[in-house]
Chain A
Amino acid sequence: MKLSRKFLNDYIDTSDIEINKLANDMTSVGNEFDFCGKLVSATNLVIGEVISCMDHPDSDHLHVCKVNVGEKVLDIVCGAPNVREGIKVIVALPGAILPGGTIKEGVIRGVPSNGMLCSIAELGLDHKFLKPEDIEGICELGLDAKVGEDPIKYLNLDDEVIDFELTSNRGDLLSVLGMAYEIGAIYNRKVNEVCLDYPKVSGKMNFNLSIDTKKCSLFLAKKAIDVTIKESPDFIQKRLIASGIRPINNVVDISNYVMLELGQPLHYYDADSLGDTLIVRDAKDGEELVTLDNVTRTLSNEDIVISNKNNAIGLAGVMGGLSTEVTENTKNILIEAAIFDSVSIRLTSKKILRSEASNRFEKGLDPKRTYMAMERSCYLLSKYADAKIIDDIVIFDESVKNDKAIKINTSDINGLLGLNISKDEIIDIFNRLDFSVLDNGDDLTVTVPSRRIDISIKEDLIEEVARIYGIDKIVGTLPVLPTKMGSYNKFLRSVREILSSLGLNETLSYTLIPNNIAHLYTIDEFDEINLLDPMSDDHRTLRYSLLPSMMLTYDYNAKRNNKDLALFEVGKKFKKVDGNYYEKNSLAILMSGNVDYGLNHEKVTFYDIKGVMEELLDGLGFKNRYSLNTDNLPKEFHPGSSANINLNGKNIGVIGKVHPNITKDNVYLMEIDIEELENLGVKKLEYQEISKYPAITKDVAFIFDRSIKNEKIVTAIKKSAGKYLTNIELFDLYEIDESNRSLAYKLDFRSQDTTLTDEIVMPIFEKIIADIKVKFNATLRDK
């Protein structure tokens, strides 16, 4: 909302308050601003008279002028086509700062030039407010303009503007009058009456109004006849410009002027094109309407339309229709002042057009103000469009207009705010807000005028007191609460700590991913969860797995030549089953390229990421509870270097190399259903007795068929060995040929209660060798 100071001063005199102070004081009661300052910021301007004008000797379009600016006569070179002897002009003196730059004394093609003659556009007004002549040529002031005086003042552009960014509850501030009440409360000043007194002619409306929707609570119609369409008076035009609205003609300008002044949007129909019937109804699905901007709109039944007997002729609250538009030839006007359902207007305007009017309907309107706006509109039409106003009116009114009475006491107020404001001060604040107060001892009954649609309960009044009293005067205290220990998710924090200490860097990626990668890295068939209205294809689908996100992160880094990565992320993944949505935390890990270890650059292998997995699971307390299997791997994984991670008989994740069909780079991925782990119990961390007795260590190397997996052999050795085998370690692996390999194990035998001897261990050791030979058709490798 752009507030014009001149407009404001009609209702409350603020001429003694500097504009920055006014803006800051409004901010401190909750109304922030984007801009405050002069409407025209150009400096060092003066009215001059061109006393001679000759062609420039060295140019086909420049003129050399002598310009009388009062104190002296300046030589100024001017290129405008309309410059000529005898006209009054705007002169920017040397040192003037215009939006286009600073004016300096200079020489233009050999002729001295000590200033500039300005067009209106060059003063910095937005081109949308200007006529072509304001842009193409220099401004010609009237002959009554006095040489040496301020041209901005002469042009009635000496206004100041504050552009407020209002909170959405303060629809009442979308009007100059509303602003006046707010400012009146701050400075304790009274607001002036709105002038509504105009001559009327007697007559009948002879008009059928029918409200066939629940979405219209108030509809007023009056007639203005014999209007003269012309330019608005200068003050109306300039106030509209200051408020950000382009002047059109007196009638259109008056409807906008009243909207700015009182906050109530109006609509004027050409009464003769309209006929004698007006229906307000819900639009039919698929119904068409040509709006003022000559666009055919297809409507749906959530829109409200104004209709004649047959067709929709306007989109209520949003835009009028072309067929009943007020034109240069309009003689008679039907004035509409109405209140439409704010939710419906919001939906329609979101689809079609956000306008100053729809914005006000959306925020809600005061029915009393609707009546006032009708009268004010008649007053202005009568005064500035020669209209005769018929004294009859058509009214449909189901609106609630009662001022609200709210009971409150000082302890309610001080109790919620943590302040100690006296009752007298509180009453004074309500009075300043123009709320009337009935003082019943402890209780106050506060009557809130209907314009404050944002206030309906006690707490709203408490906020009003706090705003005007100065909410920043509150001194901070700490709540008196019982001492207790707070809680947080230690599990996820442990995951982060373990992984970052293992050298992985945490990432944070988008939950929304492109649809075409959503199904990768899983064998699951699932229903996609897609946004109804995505901003772009890149963020269309909720991820079912974190791995597509992880690979996007890989691609981003690989493009920047960062291929040596060790990353992890914990985040939500989503699924939809039978129409219900589920989400849970998942952990993804990516390791790629090389790892540097001192001078060695080692290629990342499966065993690196497997090591991270083991450290994580062991670190979380799941040691010896998980295993890997290679059934049914997602096709995006290398079939020979990947596995499912199984815990307690359930697959909880996948680990392995990315398939070369996806990337030729050396990339490993892992995902674990971390929430599954979070919900499982683990063994208590407890001291285990350390054996006092020495160990006997035996080494053995076998030759196996290559297909035999290490884990199977280890399990078999453990089974064969019995209780004295306390540790088994694969210490050497040698690929003999394409079908055979040698695996060498170191076995530690130890007892908890006696010193083992070779006599005890050797038979066990020999049994192991015999068992393994038989079980795997293995041979002993020579020592």
Chain B
Amino acid sequence: MENEYQERNLKIEQELVNDLSLAKTLNDVVVTKAKYLGKNGVITELTKNMRDLSSDERALIGKYATEIRNKANDLISDKENKINAEILNEKLKKETIDITLPSKKRKTGSIHPFNRIVMEIEDLFVSMGYDVLDGPELETDEYCFQRLNIPLGHPVRDTQDSFYVDKDCLLRTQTSSVQARTMEKNVEKGPIRMICPGKTYRRDDDATHSHQFGQFEGLVIDEHITLADLKGTLEVMARKLLGEKTDVRFRPSYFPFTEPSVEVDVSCFKCGGKGCPLCKNTGWIELLGAGMVHPNVLKSNGYDPSKYTGFAFGTGIDRLAMMKYNIPDIRYMYTNDIRFLKQFDRKECK
């Protein structure tokens, strides 16, 4: 008997598979489903009229009927899923968009190259324990010059031709004024480690000079600070800002607020020192002025030169930005052409 039921199931299954293969739409599937599983469906019929049968017989028929019903349900729902998937695919195909149309965004803005450099310098020196300080741009002659060992009539004032607003006040010609203010403010007259980036002003205007420009100054004061420490510090700075292979060279120079004073060159980061137009074929680029804080400067700001020594260095921010980003004319830094500004809209984390 069992063989007979088995064969019957097999036959029903084959017929169902055949019927489903002909079904094209969900409706076709519904019709097929009714034909087998409906009220009078082929499979439903199997368990009808079993009243006269023995309980064993009923159980056996029931078992085979359940088996084929489950099978049928699986086959039908597979077919339904298949058709649904086709319908969905068809629908999605119709929804295809032109992914090359313009995006909807508020474009990221930009930070001016001047301040990008300032932030880079700040991050570097903050990581070495320096404080970033600020000072007035409208400064007194005392802090801009006199406290920095530049008395009235000093010839160096010629190279820093200034904008005075009255006989005592001027737009600072150098951020060195912040040196004097920092030393003065330090009431304990203890160690100092600071940089001060900011705007400075001189009577000058051409492709490489602007009457307004940026400088940053560094100052370290402590016991036993040496010129070698200055060199080591500038080496770190040059390598982090301009590349790990950068070399630093000292040449003697003169600034009234440092003694000894040095002019600091860095090996050309464009050509690596071989010689190119940027370094005028010398392999070196003049980067900053520096030196050991002059004892008169220490004294006039309340520090004891027999106890403390220190170094100071300063350089142009615009120049660094121009070198780093290959900007040919300092005036581009101040005219704020939007086509210039927008070029600085990305991060430089690599």
Contact = CB atoms under 8 A, between A and B. Distances in A.
Given A418-B231, A463-B259, 4 more contacts: A419-B228, A457-B295, A477-B231, A503-B109
Contacts, number: 252
Interface string A498-541: 01111111111111100000000000000001111111000100
Interface string B255-295: 01001111000000000000000000000000000001011
A77 B302 CA distance: 78
Contacts of A418: 226-229, 231
Interface range on chain B: under 10, 10 to 19, 20 to 34, or 35 or more?
A: 35 or more
A479 B129 contact: no
Contacts of B345: 500, 505
B233 A478 contact: yes
B336 A416 contact: no
A565 B337 CA distance: 10
Contacts of B19: none
Interface of A: 27-30, 32, 167-170, 342-344, 346-347, 350, 362-363, 415-419, 457, 459-460, 462-463, 466-467, 471-472, 474-489, 493, 496, 499-512, 529-535, 539, 542, 553, 556-557, 560, 562, 565-568, 571-572, 574, 581, 583, 595-599
Interface stretch (B5-13, B47-55, B133-141): B133-141
A506 B166 contact: no
A467 B250 CA distance: 10
A475 B254 CA distance: 21
A484 B192 CA distance: 12
Interface in B92-110: 101-110
Contacts of B136: 581, 583
A486 B251 contact: no
B212 A560 contact: no
Given A418-B226, A489-B134, A557-B338, A502 B106 contact: yes
A64 to B, nearest CB: 45
Interface string B196-223: 0001010101000001100000001010
A568 B109 CA distance: 10
Contacts of B234: 476
A466 B260 contact: yes
14 contacts: A346-B153, A416-B292, A471-B252, A474-B228, A477-B229, A496-B111, A503-B108, A507-B336, A508-B114, A512-B201, A539-B211, A553-B336, A572-B199, A574-B138
B126 interface: yes
B232 A583 contact: no
Contact of B129 (A484, A493, A583): A484
Nearest to B122: A488
A599 B102 contact: yes
A407 B212 CA distance: 44
Contacts of B171: 511-512, 542
A339 to B, nearest CB: 15
Interface string B113-155: 0110001001001111111101011100000000000001101
Contact of A486 (B114, B127, B169, B232): B127
Contacts of A474: 227-228, 231, 250
Nearest to A554: B336
B193 to A, nearest CB: 7
Contacts of B224: 415, 480
Interface stretch (B33-41, B69-77, B82-90, B157-165): B157-165
Contacts of A501: 108-109
A169 B339 CA distance: 45
A500 B235 CA distance: 32
Given A417-B227, A466-B227, A475-B228, A167 B336 contact: no
Contacts of B249: 472
B131 A534 contact: no
B295 A508 contact: no
A705 B342 CA distance: 44
Contact of B220 (A342, A479, A505): A479
Nearest to B286: A32
Nearest to B193: A481
A362 B153 CA distance: 9
Nearest to A166: B254
